Amino acid sequence: MDRFAGQVAIVTGAGGGLGRAHALALAERGVKIIVNDLGDGSTSVVAEIAALGGEAVASDADITDVAAVQAMVDDAVERWGRVDIVINNAGILRDKTFAKMELADFRKVIDVHLMGSVHCTQAVWPHMVAQGYGRILMTTSASGIYGNFGQANYGAAKSALVGLTNVLAIEGERRGIRVNALAPTAATQMTDGLIPEEAAAKLGPETIAPGAVFLVSPDAPNGVILGAGAGVFAVSRMLEARPVFLPEDERTAETIAARWDEIADMSDPHPLGSAFDQTNLYVELSGRANADTLS
């Protein structure tokens, strides 16, 4: 974990909260930081990093603006010659029940969380491909993985980031690019008033930053979702139950209902590496079942 020296990172939403904690933790390891935030916090975080003996530059680029993001990345490359790490952390909340939610608020949350991450990642991707190395961290949420009342927009965006992580982890692997997702449970300005005070005291951003640092390190895994909060860390995975083949004459909704306990049995689950792994498995099981029937 001492091989960060000389690396360059862009951390979005780094003017406070989780982003600030991530930026400071990386700076302590010698990483040069673009501290991105729309507010004034980025300047103070740059000063904090300078006080640590690190090097950082503030950026007020709006991550929903493609041109502004490209200019931010170009500045990093011109200044330091490379970008090794991107932590897509910036986010907003516009919570309401789905029935009462304005479409403008739905789109805004998608634009910031999902498209902002897409813009930043796409802008650095060619540089990472050219240098044969890159670490990208998406910030997902339990709201996207498991759901949460009143957060249809936020949950949809965060779940989409899991899908983006899964695909880019596959596409980037042979290029030396590893892509992971962090699912933090933190007490920050964005969650102020939403978490009880006693719990919030245990959920400081600094309890989560070590997970972010590991996921963008040279030793990082690939395609992982890491839950983090209060010093607790746990990997989340999408798993599938053991597949159940239905012969053609039994493929009815009634048969599925009758065998639902078997189809939904997660006592022996298995992971899948890609969508085609699932397709190939289903075709293989279907062929095997038909062969057994004919034999």
Q: Is 133 a catalytic residue?
A: no
Identify residue 129 by its one-letter amino acid code.
V
81 close to 4: Cβ distance less than 8 angstroms: no
SS3 of residue 15 by DSSP: coil
CA–CA separation, 21 vs 186, rounded Å?
11
35 close to 23: Cβ distance less than 8 angstroms: yes
Of the residues 133, 146, 154, 282, only one is catalytic, namely: 154
Q: Residue 183 belongs to what H/E stretch?
A: strand 177-184
SS3 of residue 138 by DSSP: strand
Identify residue 245 by its one-letter amino acid code.
F
Q: How many residues are listed for the chain in this entry?
A: 295
Phi-psi region of 68 (alpha: psi -120 to 50; beta: other; left: phi over 0): alpha
DSSP assigned state of 250: G
CA–CA separation, 90 vs 92, rounded Å?
7
Q: What is the CA radius of gyration of the chain?
A: 22
4 close to 31: Cβ distance less than 8 angstroms: yes
37 close to 116: Cβ distance less than 8 angstroms: no
* Residue 233 backbone dihedrals phi, psi, to 5 degrees: -130, 135
User: What is the sign of the dihedral through the CA atoms of 37, 81, 130 and 225?
Assistant: negative
Dihedral (Cα; 140, 9, 123, 134), 10-degree rounding: -80
Known catalytic residues are 154
